Structure 1
């Protein structure tokens, strides 16, 4: 971590904060974080990848940390988010890359593979599977299923509502979200039975401590990501399901043809929520390798860093040497 470089790249109308490590001549591996995380969520992958000779690139995604965070929710659709990374690759003159994404970073990785079949030579998704473009925007399905019940994604839709709760106490918010869906607390408390209109943290208690996979130094980096700005940029990612659906029409029939690796924790609630998508994945990804990691929740690259690193390096050695 002492060898990290940092730059602000002017790309796609924003400044993209980018950390990098490893030999400059190494094959590029992009690590895309999710919500509510930060570049530092890849802390346990950076050194092993760099030691293996890869050029590791870890952006703070649009809306996070030192990267720009436009106020307009429409500035966060999946095609625009992909364009940030594509423009950075262009600026760095990268013609062959591997893209790795966790949580919200996974859909960006999957779509980059669709958009850039010549440049993206291999793709890795963690926690969030790829099942192709749905027949209707996912948010419409959620509204039908959860008309009378709370759903955190529906709660995130109205700008300002979730921000007021989450920004009021940043350390508390991050502790609650880190403990939620960890292996020790596998049930998704943000989908617990409560009425529509309830607050995000209703029925939950602040654990007051950090999960085992996040030490105080790492937690300080997470806090730094949201201090002074809050969560509005990160939450805007959730406000584009309809726009994403509209903007991906041209990709609807495409398959991911590149070698692909998917990793999921056996105690990650996403596995249950996305059961149908998991079944569809082999139909949408031509060269798919999948692994379910035991005793692992949602925060896979930290909860089971050793297994993740072993599987990732093995995959890269076979498909991106």
Structure 2
């Protein structure tokens, strides 16, 4: 477990019409790598990767993305679509004077990084995705498709069809929800009716084992107690808007990519990943959803090995 006081001190960076709280390490290094968190997370979810990547010669840039932590939380739902979220990352590169970078994303962060590679391909020299593989667009908007298959109580659908309902429950049970969410080695259980995130927030007894120490969990609890959950849930409320925004974009990710799955994650592997990401390497770790926090050393090893192999394969520049 890591000491929260060891995490870098943040700076505030003005980008793309918002302010982002950004944590950095290895500023003296010339190779930028940007780490993008998921939901319900925080830049602190990369605490185990930051020192390892900095020691390997990378300038590690870890934003709290819009809607999280002390970053801006615009009121408009549409301010959290893929154009805004990827635009923030492009502007962050501009701020630092970088043409491109390697982008690492977990969960929702992976969705944003995949979208960034499509919308701004010249700014991305490599993709590392944890948990969430590339999502093919399909013929039907994503929320409509999920509703047809998984029903109205599936939390993606519920967040969109009943805005504000889940937000209020999560806000009321912030510490309990996050304590119950960040678990590993959970016993298998049959699917239950109801909205999973609301049930998780109201559950008094957590399942499995904690992913992190109480001091580490306190960082997440403090952040969401301050912000509430609506701004981060608004990312979900843009899925169908994102589906429309990506309609005319080349759907193939042409950059080299590393896909890291948690073998016990509930998110399934993509059977068609290589069709949309032809230069992809796939690996799995024996863990659940919170990959880089459950298996930090193994995650670091997988990322650094892939980065080293890419560097070795690149032609030498004169």
- Scaled by the length of structure 2, what TM-score is found? 0.90
1:77-92 correspondence runs (5 A):
77-92=81-96
Please say if residues 167 and 231 of structure 1, whose CA atoms lie closer than 8 Å, have aligned partners that are also in contact: yes
- Counterpart of 2:224 in structure 1 is 226
- Counterpart of 1:282 in structure 2 is 274
Give the distance between the partners of 1:110 and 1:155, measured in 2 at CA. Answer: 24
* Cα drift, residue 3 of structure 1: 7.2
Please say if residues 10 and 21 of structure 2, whose CA atoms lie closer than 8 Å, have aligned partners that are also in contact: yes
> RMSD across aligned C-alpha pairs, in angstroms?
2.2
Give the distance between the partners of 1:312 and 1:186, measured in 2 at CA. Answer: 29
- Counterpart of 1:301 in structure 2 is 292
- Listed as ranges, the gaps of 5+ residues in structure 1 are none
- Counterpart of 2:16 in structure 1 is 12
Measured against aligned partners, the alpha-carbon deviations of 1:169-191 in whole angstroms (never above 9, x if no partner) come to 21101012213xx333465x8xx
Please say if residues 7 and 44 of structure 2, whose CA atoms lie closer than 8 Å, have aligned partners that are also in contact: no
Measured against aligned partners, the alpha-carbon deviations of 1:184-204 in whole angstroms (never above 9, x if no partner) come to 3465x8xx3315x79821796
- Counterpart of 1:255 in structure 2 is 252
* Cα drift, residue 7 of structure 1: 1.4
Please say if residues 174 and 201 of structure 2, whose CA atoms lie closer than 8 Å, have aligned partners that are also in contact: no
Give the distance between the partners of 1:61 and 1:142, measured in 2 at CA. Answer: 25
* Cα drift, residue 270 of structure 1: 0.5
Q: Aligned to 2:256, what secondary structure does the other structure show? A: strand
* Cα drift, residue 243 of structure 1: 0.5
* Cα drift, residue 320 of structure 1: 4.5
Q: More displaced, 211-220 or 102-111? A: 211-220
- Counterpart of 1:150 in structure 2 is 153
Please say if residues 101 and 109 of structure 1, whose CA atoms lie closer than 8 Å, have aligned partners that are also in contact: yes
Q: Aligned to 1:257, what secondary structure does the other structure show? A: coil
Number of equivalent positions: 307
- Counterpart of 2:315 in structure 1 is none
Please say if residues 81 and 235 of structure 2, whose CA atoms lie closer than 8 Å, have aligned partners that are also in contact: yes
Give the distance between the partners of 2:79 and 2:13, measured in 1 at CA. Answer: 18
1:153-164 correspondence runs (5 A):
153-157=156-160, 158-164=162-168
Measured against aligned partners, the alpha-carbon deviations of 1:222-246 in whole angstroms (never above 9, x if no partner) come to 1122122210111101101110011
Q: Aligned to 1:240, what secondary structure does the other structure show? A: helix
Give the distance between the partners of 2:41 and 2:82, measured in 1 at CA. Answer: 18
* Cα drift, residue 267 of structure 1: 0.6
1:316 to 289, 293, 307: 307
Please say if residues 93 and 100 of structure 2, whose CA atoms lie closer than 8 Å, have aligned partners that are also in contact: no
1:31-50 correspondence runs (5 A):
31-50=35-54
* Residues 2 and 269 of structure 1: CA distance in aligned 2, closer, same or farther (over 3 Å): closer
Q: Aligned to 1:125, what secondary structure does the other structure show? A: strand
Give the distance between the partners of 1:103 and 1:291, measured in 2 at CA. Answer: 16
